[in-house]
Chain A
Amino acid sequence: MADPISQFEIKNLVKIAEIGGSEIHFTNSALFMAITVVGIWALLVGGTSARALIPGRLQSIAELSYEFVANTIQSTAGKEGMRFFPLVFTLFMFILVANMIGLVPGTFTVTSHIVVTASLALLVFFTVIFYGLYKHGLGFFRLFVPHGIPIYILPLIVFIEVLSFLSRPISHSVRLFANMLAGHITLKVFAGFVTLLGGLGIAGVIGAALPLILVVALTALELLVAFLQAYVFAILTCIYLNDAIHPGH
């Protein structure tokens, strides 16, 4: 039985360069990121190439994903949020397709590594800070000073608001990473039970039916989680960007 952690192992595939004594490799993670990007590209370019008035299947998927993300942005960050549409759409599609590819047995799940999700979350975090400072100058810091707070507890509230702001990239990245990690480990453990019990003769084969059913059910759940996590990541990105667009009201 393969241990449930080995599916997350980074393997070096091709050595690219050596910089300052550390080797730079093209890893399986990088390979699956590339597959994800090519997959998205094929879906969107292939889907929109026909430009039919009555969309085919691929075109429907491309149009639906556009409309879904556009609606999400407009309902959370308003019309002005649409200038961040490329960022949010890229994040959503990358995470969604990476999660979906990761569900295929034998593949590598890019989003199950915190270094990947933290990079994406920090990208959003710094985009919020830089755009907020660029757009509003020091007025951006009104974000940390709520209205209508008595002056004697204001310092405490400001501390709490700053800590709350700093905790955003952590919860943003850990949520996606932990859900993917836990889901894949659970799947692997239950699938391992099937093979273990199956090796115990007739009674074992009958007993193996239960974990097999569970694996099927869990796969369905993981499909839902794969979509929802991409959606949650996108909607949180919108909410955070909304703070950068309109701080302090």
Chain B
Amino acid sequence: MADDARKDGMDGDRSAEDAALSARLQRLGERLGRQGQDRKAEPAAGSQSDPSAIARGFRLSTELVAGVLVGAFIGWALDRWLGSAPWGMFFFLMLGFAAGVVNVMRAAGISKGPGR
């Protein structure tokens, strides 16, 4: 009788432990699964994951200049078309500079891509 009782007690302990363990395992599995998904989703998100730092460095070199050039060209063309000199150039050069800075921030991975 005493034996049975002890056995019952042990069985009860073991099943409780098993239940706790399996619950913990399940929680761990869920957490791992969530992290795995995060990790899988992260590269798809965009420009954050350049594997090569040198490649990123090369990107920085022209981004700012390109933005300023486009702004200057649009301003110049608008001024020619509308005869609004110097306001088109003034306005779009500023915007172009801002666009260049945005480009550089994106290339450096500080800011995320457009629309994000």
Contact = CB atoms under 8 A, between A and B. Distances in A.
Interface in A46-81: 74-79
A76 B70 contact: no
Nearest to A239: B47
B62 A171 contact: yes
A75 B113 contact: no
B99 A160 contact: yes
Contacts of A75: 43, 49, 51
A181 interface: no
Contacts of A249: 115-116
Interface in B38-58: 43-44, 46-47, 49-52, 54-55, 58
A163 B74 CA distance: 9
Contacts of A239: 46-47, 113
A90 to B, nearest CB: 19
B99 A164 contact: yes
B114 A236 contact: no
B58 A229 contact: yes
B99 A247 contact: no
A175 B102 CA distance: 18
B98 to A, nearest CB: 5
A232 interface: yes
Contacts of A199: none
Interface string A221-242: 0001000110110011001001
Contacts of B103: 164, 167, 171
A147 B112 CA distance: 12
A76 B63 CA distance: 19
Q: Of A78, A79, A159, A167, which is in contact with the most chain B CB atoms at under 10 Å from its CB? A: A167
B116 A146 contact: yes
Contact of A144 (B54, B65, B106, B115): B115
A76 B65 contact: no
Interface in A123-178: 142-147, 156, 159-161, 163-168, 170-171, 174-175, 178
B44 to A, nearest CB: 4
B114 A144 contact: yes
A179 interface: yes
Contact of B114 (A77, A165, A174, A175): A165
A232 B59 contact: yes
Interface string B11-30: 00000000000000000000
Nearest to A229: B58
Contact of B70 (A170, A224, A248): A170
Interface centre among A76, A78, A163 (most CB of B within 10 A): A163
Contacts of B62: 170-171, 174-175, 178
B18 to A, nearest CB: 40
B65 A171 contact: yes
A118 B55 CA distance: 19
B84 interface: no
23 contacts: A75-B49, A76-B47, A142-B115, A143-B114, A146-B116, A156-B95, A160-B95, A160-B98, A160-B99, A161-B114, A163-B74, A164-B103, A164-B114, A167-B99, A167-B100, A170-B62, A170-B69, A170-B70, A171-B63, A235-B55, A239-B113, A242-B46, A249-B115
Interface of A: 74-79, 142-147, 156, 159-161, 163-168, 170-171, 174-175, 178-179, 224, 228-229, 231-232, 235-236, 239, 242-243, 247-249
Given A175-B58, A232-B58, A249-B116, 10 more contacts: A75-B49, A143-B114, A163-B95, A163-B99, A164-B103, A167-B63, A167-B70, A167-B96, A168-B66, A175-B59
